[in-house]
Structure 1
């Protein structure tokens, strides 16, 4: 690979890291002063995502709540599930006020192996936070 391509990749990587650090610092500041708003974590008008997983046998249900202004791609969640050995059975979303509610139900491709829900949870946290 030519050195200028490597340099371009490195620059892009550093820019992404800088953006992530800025977002995390904003979130940190918001969480520091969050004691007075009744537990609803918000960042300005942005709602911080909420993620939960429920595992029943070889079925895994992913519930995600985000703000409307969150740039979120449903196909990225589907991709994580697929890579972890799950097949999406159904996916739905609904809007209420400034929130978007996602529900994705998946089934283990190989029922004997199942789905490592803790690993899925960690990967999805990295994706949405």
Structure 2
């Protein structure tokens, strides 16, 4: 009886071992199918397949780490980026014949400062001084300008309104056309009076 039981145990062990080997072959095939060299015509030996899988996994881990590092650095750049959008603000004070213009902008809309300087130059308003400073994500510009005698009595408010309209975008084409029409009408009246 002992002989029969030992022989059936041996058969069972062989059967279990055979199933284990078949299961391992299936797993190796699945692992090999995930490798980028899977479609190559030459079949690698089992130890080489495992080495290839290990190297491929290490390569993927390095790529994931590199991408995560890049993502973190981009997040950090976004948090401290000087180009974040800040709405421009302007405040204009009239002091006798002087205009004090305080302009606050983000770094992405610095063109507003240059446009204001250009506008003042076109209106024959002399820029006396400009102080600019940076605070976090903003630029502060303080412009001191001298209003000419021609603009002193009636033009300072108009210049102020046009600058605010330029910064805040509230000056419509209709307002500009109305101003132009009013100026043309005033010139026509002056011509009639001269005649």
The answer to whether the 8 A contact 1:81-1:88 is kept is yes
Q: 1:121 aligns with which of 133, 144, 160?
A: 160
Q: Report the alpha carbon displacement of residue 73 of structure 1 after superposing the two structures with TM.
A: 4.7
Q: After superposition, what is the alpha-carbon deviation per residue over 1:50-71, rounded to whole angstroms, capped at 9, x for unaligned?
A: 1110111001011000111224
The answer to whether the 8 A contact 1:55-1:117 is kept is yes
Q: Report the alpha carbon displacement of residue 123 of structure 1 after superposing the two structures with TM.
A: 2.2
CA distance in 1, matches of 2:109, 2:135: 14
Is residue 116 of structure 2 the alignment partner of residue 77 of structure 1?
A: yes
Gaps of 5+ in 1: 1-44
CA distance in 1, matches of 2:122, 2:158: 11
Q: After superposition, what is the alpha-carbon deviation per residue over 1:31-88, rounded to whole angstroms, capped at 9, x for unaligned?
A: xxxxxxxxxxxxxx31111111011100101100011122425332122223333100
Q: Which has the higher strand share?
A: 1
Residue correspondence of structure 1 range 1-129 to structure 2 within 5 A: 45-110=84-149, 113-114=151-152, 116-129=155-168
Gaps of 5+ in 2: 1-83, 169-195
CA distance in 2, matches of 1:60, 1:89: 10
The answer to whether the 8 A contact 1:66-1:101 is kept is yes
Aligned length: 84
82-91 or 46-55: bigger deviation: 82-91
The answer to whether the 8 A contact 2:91-2:103 is kept is yes
The answer to whether the 8 A contact 2:125-2:146 is kept is yes
Q: Which has the higher helix share?
A: 2
The alignment yields a C-alpha RMSD, in angstroms, of 2.1
CA distance in 1, matches of 2:145, 2:110: 23
TM-score, length basis structure 2 = 0.38
**Greater relative CO (CA pairs within 8 A, separation 6+):** 1
CA distance in 2, matches of 1:127, 1:83: 14
